[in-house]
Structure 1
């Protein structure tokens, strides 16, 4: 069976503010359908991604800012972080988890700097959108076999 993650719904409180934020990241605006005052769908796709995000009015009952751990993989974490900072985004410093494997929830077990061996899948930076939805950048230069 063929399945691909296509869309993640992100809860926001102000659609225009969220739209301006994601535009500032140079994400591709795929759609903005203001169907009426109670229903508007906005879709963005990060560069090189096959999956998109959707937010708007009337698209979710989730609390704005309640999504955490949305993950973006990048080839060069320093470069990606610098681009976000240049776009005006408040991005954390680069960090790695104390286990060297993925990361704990929240900020527990974060150690400053990239993974000591700069191991793939093990170095991160994080930021939030204006509502507090949490994004994590993960550096991957060489994917695991089968990926």
Structure 2
């Protein structure tokens, strides 16, 4: 059986503000459709991704900002971080986790910018520049938390 992750629902409080943010991120706008005053769907796809995000009005009852730990894989984390910063996105400094391949941050609160929340979080690139080993984080305007992860060579079968 093939199971492909297709869509992530993001809870937001201000649809237009979120739309502006994800446009600044460079995501492709796929759909912006409303049906009356109580329903609107805005659908974006990150560049190079097969999985998309959707947010809007009447889309989810989950509190705005409660989506945490969504990973965007990039081939060069320093270059990607610099491009996002140039686009006006507030991104953490690059860091690595002492445990190697998974950032141990957790949801809730300020997931993206508090170094104390990551177990073993160390400043800078992974010392060996190991794939899956270097990270940077950011949040959308509602606090939905994203993680950039550098992957230069995928694990077998990926």
TM-score by length of 1: 0.98
Listed as ranges, the gaps of 5+ residues in structure 1 are none
Listed as ranges, the gaps of 5+ residues in structure 2 are 107-116
Q: Does 1:120 align with 2:131?
A: yes
In the aligned structure 2, how far is the partner of 1:58 from the partner of 1:112?
A: 40
Q: Does 1:37 align with 2:47?
A: no
In the aligned structure 1, how far is the partner of 2:10 from the partner of 2:47?
A: 17
- Structure 1 segment 136-147 matched on structure 2, within 5 A: 136-147=147-158
* Matched residue SS, 2:84: helix
In the aligned structure 1, how far is the partner of 2:5 from the partner of 2:101?
A: 23
Please provide the CA RMSD for this pair: 0.8
In the aligned structure 1, how far is the partner of 2:20 from the partner of 2:94?
A: 25
Greater CA drift, 103-112 or 16-25:
103-112
- Structure 1 segment 39-58 matched on structure 2, within 5 A: 39-58=39-58
TM-score by length of 2: 0.91
How many angstroms does 1:101 deviate by? 2.4
